[in-house]
């Protein structure tokens, strides 16, 4: 049984192509149900995000998985082959570990992908299409991803504006759980800022937007994770004093947060510090507010320089992470060999026990018929030893034929160790 990874991502396919090769949970449930009677399509996990669609499967026919991916999305296989990548066994495992660890993401080191892969696995398990072996592979990949996140700095440096603002807030303030954040404009950039800050556990987010409906929509998205309040845009100056962090990105041609308003807000706050981030071009916040004690003002250029530097650091950290993944892949191979050896040893012991039982039954029957016990025991021990030595003898012959002498040397040393152990036991018994 082969472990395969087949898919497309932002490296191999355009966004238009990726949109056509995508699955949601409802569609996957239906497809999993259809695959129940197809052994080669009944042990798989599908990871589908905006940047990738990948099928991880245990199968004896990888081509059938490729055909399924193409047909499920209305593609000819030859068309899909122009964009698809395919890995098997160790390469597939290495790829899965890189994906789960954020090393194959468009935004290097992004943390969301691990949760997305875990959700994909859970969906497949809920629909009974994940074997014990496939689940074990994913659990090892999650272990590898955790090692990458905790033992390298690949995810520690902000490389997006939204995340950079959130990280900046955590550096300025020691207790994120006590912060009130004001989002001025509920566009894409500030939405990301709000989501990152909500994930970091701020106390409250105030949304101030010209169009109330858009603010309400964002509030609904955030409401499950943080307390949210919507205020009208004409209340901005009056509500400013409530905010520990202000992120503004309106797209206005004129400033919307003025020096006098910030000065008044500071006085109302009894001069407790405020972090103000201006993500707008032209700028939303009067840059003179930076002269006020207690105001920390950052603009787009400030954040971009931080992001550029962080990207260099993250790429360096990614090199360490890639080395770790390679080492863990080797460890996985060793673990699999040990696991396989355990199964083979168990099987060998079962066969040996069957042979022992057969010889014992034969001997007991012979005793009933009056056979000489001593001769019977000698014959039984001879037959049993001959049967047990058959497989080791075969291994010795195969090892001797091999161009690599290490296997034969290991077997020979093992025999010598057994002989030494036997002599030691014999000496102890004499005492």
What is the rounded CA–CA span in Å between residue 302 and residue 284? 15
E strand segments, 315-360: none
pTM of this structure: 0.59
- Annotated active-site residue 249? The verdict is no
Q: Order across the sheet with 85-88: list the strands.
A: 44-48, 52-59, 2-9, 85-88
- Segment 200-231, tens digit of pLDDT: 899 999 999 999 999 999 999 999 899 999 99
What is the rounded CA–CA span in Å between residue 126 and residue 128? 6
What is the rounded CA–CA span in Å between residue 307 and residue 229? 30
Q: List CB contacts of 246: < 8 A, sequence separation 6 or more.
A: 181, 182, 184, 240, 257, 274, 275, 276, 277, 285
Position 408 scores a pLDDT of 64
Catalytic residue (choose from 50, 77, 391, 425) = 50
132, containing H or E segment: helix 132-151
Position 339 scores a pLDDT of 67
Strand, coil or helix: 156: coil
Cis peptide, bond prior to residue 367, ω within 30 of zero: no
- Segment 154-200, tens digit of pLDDT: 766 656 777 788 888 988 998 999 999 999 999 888 998 999 899 88
Other CB atoms within 10 A of residue 300 CB: 16
3-state helix, strand, coil split of the chain in percent (to 5) is 60, 15, 25
Give the start-to-end residue ranges of the domains of the chain.
2-156, 161-304, 338-430
Position 431 scores a pLDDT of 60
- Tracing tokens 């689940």 back to the chain, one arrives at 135
E strand segments, 271-330: 274-278, 295-299
- Segment 350-390, tens digit of pLDDT: 777 787 788 788 888 888 888 888 888 888 787 777 777 77
* Res 257 pLDDT > 90: yes
CA 316 from chain centre, in angstroms, equals 20
**Are 45 and 20 contacting, i.e. CB atoms less than 8 angstroms apart?**
no
Position 295 scores a pLDDT of 96
Q: List CB contacts of 385: < 8 A, sequence separation 6 or more.
A: none
CATH H-level, domain 161-304: superfamily = NAD(P)-binding Rossmann-like Domain (3.40.50.720)
**Looking at residues 256-271, what average pLDDT do you find?**
96
Per-range mean pLDDT, top range of 106-115, 254-263, 405-414: 254-263
What is the rounded CA–CA span in Å between residue 25 and residue 356? 53
Position 261 scores a pLDDT of 96
What is the rounded CA–CA span in Å between residue 257 and residue 287? 10
What is the rounded CA–CA span in Å between residue 188 and residue 194? 10
- Segment 140-149, tens digit of pLDDT: 999 999 998 8
For residues 394 and 93, the model is more confident at 93
pLDDT > 70: what percent of the chain?
88
236: phi then psi, degrees, rounded to nearest 5: -55, -55
**Are 140 and 287 contacting, i.e. CB atoms less than 8 angstroms apart?**
no
What is 2-156's CATH topology?
Answer: Beta Polymerase; domain 2 (3.30.460)
What is the rounded CA–CA span in Å between residue 347 and residue 364? 26
Position 6 scores a pLDDT of 97
105: phi then psi, degrees, rounded to nearest 5: -85, 155
Structure tokens at 324: 């770790």
Sign of CA dihedral 112, 113, 114, 116: positive
């Amino acid at each position: 049984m082969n472990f395969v990874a087949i898919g497309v991502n932002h490296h191999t396919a355009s966004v238009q192509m990726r949109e056509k090769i995508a699955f949601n949970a409802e569609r996957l449930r239906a497809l999993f149900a259809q695959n129940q009677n197809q052994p080669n399509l009944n042990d798989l996990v599908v990871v589908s995000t905006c940047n990738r669609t990948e099928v991880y499967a245990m199968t004896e026919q990888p081509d059938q998985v490729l055909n399924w991916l193409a047909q499920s999305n209305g593609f000819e296989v030859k068309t899909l082959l122009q964009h698809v990548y395919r890995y098997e066994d160790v390469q597939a495992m290495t790829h899965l570990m890189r994906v789960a660890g954020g090393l194959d993401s468009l935004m290097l080191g992004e943390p969301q992908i691990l949760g997305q892969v875990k959700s994909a696995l859970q969906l497949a398990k809920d629909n009974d299409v994940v074997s014990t072996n496939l689940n074990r592979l994913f659990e090892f990949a999650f272990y590898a991803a955790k090692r990458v996140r905790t033992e390298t700095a690949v995810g520690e440096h902000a490389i997006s504006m939204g995340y950079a603002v959130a990280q900046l807030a955590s550096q300025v303030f020691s207790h994120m759980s006590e912060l009130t954040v004001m989002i001025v404009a509920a566009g894409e950039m500030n939405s990301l800022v709000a989501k990152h800050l909500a994930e970091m556990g701020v106390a409250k987010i105030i949304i101030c937007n010209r169009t109330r409906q858009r603010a309400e929509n964002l509030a609904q998205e955030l409401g499950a994770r943080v307390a949210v309040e919507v205020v009208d845009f004409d209340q901005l100056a009056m509500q400013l004093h409530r905010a520990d962090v202000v992120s503004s990105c309106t797209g206005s041609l004129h400033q919307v947060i003025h020096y006098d308003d910030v000065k008044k807000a500071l006085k109302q706050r009894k001069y407790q510090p405020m972090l103000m981030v201006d993500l707008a071009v032209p700028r939303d916040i009067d840059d003179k507010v930076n002269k006020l004690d207690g105001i920390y003002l950052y603009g787009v250029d400030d954040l971009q320089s931080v992001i550029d530097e962080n990207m260099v650091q993250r790429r360096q950290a990614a090199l360490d992470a890639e080395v770790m993944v390679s080492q863990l892949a080797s460890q996985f191979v060793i673990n699999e060999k040990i696991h396989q050896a355990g199964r083979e040893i168990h099987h060998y012991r079962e066969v040996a026990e069957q042979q022992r039982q057969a010889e014992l039954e034969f001997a007991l029957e012979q005793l009933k018929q009056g056979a000489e016990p001593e001769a019977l025991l000698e014959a039984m021990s001879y037959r049993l030893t001959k049967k047990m030595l058959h497989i080791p003898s075969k291994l010795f012959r195969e090892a001797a034929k091999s161009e690599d002498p290490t296997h034969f040397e290991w077997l020979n040393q093992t025999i010598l160790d057994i002989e030494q152990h036997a002599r030691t036991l014999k000496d102890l018994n004499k005492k």
